Amino acid sequence: MILTVTPNAALDVTYQIDALTPYATHRVGAVAERAGGKGVNVARVLHGLGTPVLATGLAGGPTGQRLRELLIADDVAEAFLPVTGDARRTVVVADRADATGFWEPGPTVTAAEWSGFTAHFAALLAGVKVVVLSGSLPPGVPATAYAELLALAHAAGAATILDADGDPLRQGLRVQPDLVKPNAAELHALTGIRVDGPDAARAAVAALRELGAGDVVASLGGGGLVAVSEQGVWRARLAEPLTGNPTGAGDACVAALARGLLAGQPWPERLRDAVALSAAAVLSPVAGVVDPAVYERLRTEVIVDVC
Amino acid sequence: MILTVTPNAALDVTYQIDALTPYATHRVGAVAERAGGKGVNVARVLHGLGTPVLATGLAGGPTGQRLRELLIADDVAEAFLPVTGDARRTVVVADRADATGFWEPGPTVTAAEWSGFTAHFAALLAGVKVVVLSGSLPPGVPATAYAELLALAHAAGAATILDADGDPLRQGLRVQPDLVKPNAAELHALTGIRVDGPDAARAAVAALRELGAGDVVASLGGGGLVAVSEQGVWRARLAEPLTGNPTGAGDACVAALARGLLAGQPWPERLRDAVALSAAAVLSPVAGVVDPAVYERLRTEVIVDVC
C-alpha cells in the first residue's frame, strides 16, 4: 500500500472562457471541479494504474468536504483530516490558447490541528510500504512538517518520497528521505547550482545528497530525468520532448517512482516508467489522469543511458 | 422600505497578486470575500446612507450560506431564499495595475424553486414602497422572471426599478417598470441605436419607452446620465469624468435613483445624487462601498442641464 500526503489539498476549479483579455471581465462558460493538490494527483494516477493507494492530508470546511466527495466519486480511497479553515481553491482559467492559474494560499492551520494530523498520520501507517509527501504547506503548519512525518514513517518501516520545495524540503532532507524529486528550479534554490544540463544536474544532486537526500531523481522538463542512487547514475528521456499540459506531469513521475520503490524495480525500468508516465500526463488535458495505452506506447520510446 | 432583488447573487472573491501574466501560474497573496451581485451592492449602498432596505434573491449551498453570513456581518438586512444549487462566485484578480474578472454563470434553479421564490417575494412586499430588480438570471430561471416580479410588485402598490439586460429586460419592459437604467451597450442591444452622445441616447430612450419603459435613466459612463420622464428631459454629469474602479458605479446610481423615487425627490436633485453617488463609487476601491464625505463633495460639482 502507498500512502500519499497532501497537507495543502485543493479544490481545482477550471473556468472555460473564450479568450483571456487582461483587465477585462469574462463570463465563464463552464465550471469544472476536481480534487487537487500534488499528492492527490499522485494518488489518482496510482489508482488509475491499479496500485493500492490511500490519500490523506488536511481538508477542512465546505471546500474540503467537496474535495473529499469528488475523490470518493473517483473511487480513490481517502482519509483526509478535516480542519476548521476552509480548504483552498486553485483556479485555472482555460481559453482556446492555454491556461492561466491562480493558487490560493490555503487555510491557516492551528498547532493543535497539526499535532492532531501527525497522530492521524501515524495511525494510518500500519501496512504502508511507501509514503509520498507532496506539495506546499498551508499557513500555520511548521516548516519542519515533512521532517516530522518522515521520522514517523521511517519508524514504522515505510520507505519515503519527498516532493516539496523551499524550507520544508530543506528541513525534510535532514531526516534522509529515501527519494526526492527536485526540478531544476528547486535544485538551483537549494544548491546554488544553475541546472542547464545533465552535468550540472549531477553536480547539484551531489550537493543535495550532502544535505541528506538518499536517492535523487532530478526532473529537467523536456530534458528528462537524471537519477542518482547508490546503484548508479542514469539519464532517461524521450528522443523528442512532447508539448502539451505540463500540470501534473511531475505528479505522474512521482507516482511511477513510488510504484518502482514499492516493487523494488531495477532503476532503468523505474525511470522508463517515470518518463513514460510523465509524458503521458503531458499529453492528457487533465492533471492526474493518464491514458494507459499512451503510457504503454511511450514506455517503448524512452531512452535510458548509464552515465 | 426598499426591497432589492438579486436572483443570481454571488460571493465576490478578490485575489491579490503582484502582476497578471497570461498563461502563467500565480500564487495568490491575499483572498478577500464579500457578498455580491448587483442588487446586493445596491442594498449595501442604501444601508450605508441610512435608508431602510431589505436584500432578497436566491442564494443556495455553502457559497450562498457564506454570502448571507457576510451580509449579516455588514449589518445589511437580508431575506435570501436558499436553493439547492451552490451560489456562484465572481473572481476578481487584482494586480498593481488593474483588475481582471471571471464571472461564474450561477447554479441551475428548478421550476419549483423559482415558483417558491415568487411566493417568498410576494410575502416580503408588505410595507415595501420601492422594489429594485437587478442583474442576470441564473440558469433555469425563466426570461419572464422580472416581468413576473414586476407584476407582483405593482399589484402590491410598490414602485419598481429594473436594471437588467437582454431578454429579461425586454420581457420586463412589457410590464412597464417605473424606471429602467440601461447603459449605452444595453440601449444599443435593445433599440439598435448606437449611443455615442446625448442626442443618440435620447433617441434610444424614446424607442425604449415604446417598448414599455416608464422613466428611463441612461448611463453613459464618463458622459453622465440622460433622464427622460413625463416631467422632462435632463442631462447630468461631472465637468470632468473621474477615473477609478467602475465596478459598482451603476449599482450606486441605482441606489440613488431608488432613494429619489422613495422620497418623491424632484428629478434634478435625483440626478445630482445619482451622478455624485456613482462617481463616489468610482473613487472607492470596493464595489458597494461609498465614502459619504466624497459623495457630499461631489454633489456640489454635478452639472444638471435641461435638454
Cα–Cα dist A305/A227, whole Å = 10
How many structural domains comprise chain A? Answer: 1
A-chain residue closest to B61, CA distance: A62
Q: Average of pLDDT values for B40-67?
A: 96
- Whether residue A163 is contained in a domain is answered as yes
Say if residue A25's pLDDT is above 80: yes
Reported residue count of chain B is 307
Answer whether A102 sits within 8 Å of B26, measured CB to CB: yes
Question: With pLDDT > 90 as the criterion, what percentage of chain B qualifies?
Answer: 84
Q: With H, G, I as helix, E, B as strand and everything else as coil, classify residue B291.
A: coil
- Closest partner CB to B26 (pick from A17, A24, A103): A103
The arithmetic mean of pLDDT across residues A201-227, rounded, is 90
For the question of residue B98 being annotated catalytic, the response is no
- Give the residue from A25, A67, A70 with the most B CB atoms within 10 Å of its CB, the best one to mutate: A25
Least confident of A281-285, B5-9, B179-183: A281-285
B31 in contact with A at a CB cutoff of 8 Å? Answer: yes
Cell numbers of B53, please? 432596505
> Cα A185 to the chain's mean position, in Å?
15
Residues in a beta bridge with A225: A219, A236
CB B278 within 8 A of CB B253: yes
pLDDT band, residue B242 (cuts 50/70/90): confident
At residue B20, does pLDDT exceed 70? yes
Give the residue among A173, A223, A233 at the shortest CA–CA distance from A203.
A233
Which residues are paired to B216 by β-bridges? B180, B228
pLDDT confidence of B118, banded at 50, 70, 90? very high
Within a domain: A93: no
Lowest mean pLDDT among A4-18, A77-91, A286-300, B156-170: A286-300
- How distant is the Cα of A23 from the closest Cα of chain B, in angstroms? 4
Per the residue annotation, which of A18, A251, A273, A305 is the catalytic one? A251
A243 contact B CB<8A: no
Cα separation of B220 and A19, whole Å? 27
Taken in order B244, B247, B250, B254, the sign of the CA dihedral is negative
Distance, CA of A169 to CA of A162 (rounded, Å)? 7
pLDDT band of B270, cuts 50, 70, 90: very high
Residue A97 lies in a domain: no
Taking only the tens place, the pLDDT of each residue in B186-195 is 999 999 999 8
Please write the tens of the pLDDT for every residue from A126-140.
999 999 999 999 999
ipTM for the assembly? 0.84
Tell me what the mean pLDDT of segment A219-237 comes to.
90
Report residue B24 as a C-alpha cell: 502563467
Contacts of A103 in chain B (CB under 8 A): 25-28
Would you say B63 and B8 are in contact if contact means Cβ atoms under 8 Å apart? no
CA B36, chain centre distance (Å) = 10
Is the pLDDT reported for residue B8 higher than 80?
Answer: yes
How many Cβ pairs within 8 Å bridge chains A and B? 77
Inter-chain touch A103–B25, beta carbons under 8 Å: yes
Identify the three-state secondary structure at position A22: coil
**CATH assignment at residue B122:** 3.40.1190.20
CA distance B124 to B119: 9
Residue A251 is predicted with a pLDDT of: 94
A99 falls within a domain: no
Domain-embedded: residue A152: yes
Closest CA to B61 of B1, B9, B137, B115: B9
Where in the sequence is the domain holding A72, given as residue range(s)?
Answer: 2-6+38-84+111-306
Chain B residue numbers touching A31 (CB-CB < 8 A): 104-105
| Mean pLDDT in residue range B98-104 | 93
Whether chain A has a CB inside 8 Å of the CB on B104: the answer is yes
Report chain A residues whose CB lies below 8 A from the CB of B21: 100
Question: Can you give the pLDDT at residue B220?
Answer: 87
Is A96 inside any structural domain? no
Q: Report the C-alpha gap between B283 and A88 in whole angstroms.
A: 31
Question: In terms of C-beta density within 10 A (0-12 exposed, 13-18 middle, 19 or more buried), how is residue B232 classed?
Answer: exposed
Backbone phi, then psi, for A36, in 5-degree steps? -140, -170
Residue pair B206/B228 in contact by the 8 Å Cβ criterion: yes
- Residue A127: CB atoms within 10 A of its CB come to 11
pLDDT at A222: 77
- Produce one character per residue of A178-195: b if its CB has 16 or more CB atoms within 10 Å, e if not: bbbbbbbebbbebbebeb
Do B253 and B239 form a contact (C-beta atoms < 8 A)? no
Q: Which of A175-184, A199-208, B174-183 has the lowest mean pLDDT?
A: A199-208
Instruction: Evaluate if residue B1 carries a pLDDT over 90.
Output: yes
Whole-Å CA distances, B249 to B45, B49, B278, B288: 10, 15, 4, 8
Q: What is the mean pLDDT of residues B97-106?
A: 92
Give the C-alpha distances (Å, rounded to integers) separating B298 from B111, B226, B246, B295: 45, 18, 16, 5
Convert the pLDDT of each residue in A171-189 to its tens digit.
Answer: 999 999 999 999 999 999 9
* Mutate: best of B8, B11, B18, B28, partner A, most A CBs <10 A: B28
Q: Which three cell numbers stand for residue B127?
A: 410595507
Asked if pLDDT for residue A104 goes beyond 70, the answer is: yes
Average pLDDT estimate for B117-146: 97
Does the residue A31 lie in any domain?
A: no
Please say if the pLDDT value at position A287 is more than 70: no
Among all residues of chain B, which has the CA nearest to that of A64? B62
Q: Is pLDDT of B240 > 90? A: no
Q: What is the pLDDT, as a whole number, of residue B287? A: 66
Question: What percent of chain A has a predicted confidence (pLDDT) above 70?
Answer: 99
Whether B307 shows a pLDDT value over 90: the answer reads no
Residue A91 in this model has a pLDDT that exceeds 80: yes
Residue that is written with C-alpha cell 416608464 in the block: B214
pLDDT at A63: 96
pLDDT at B241 over 90: no
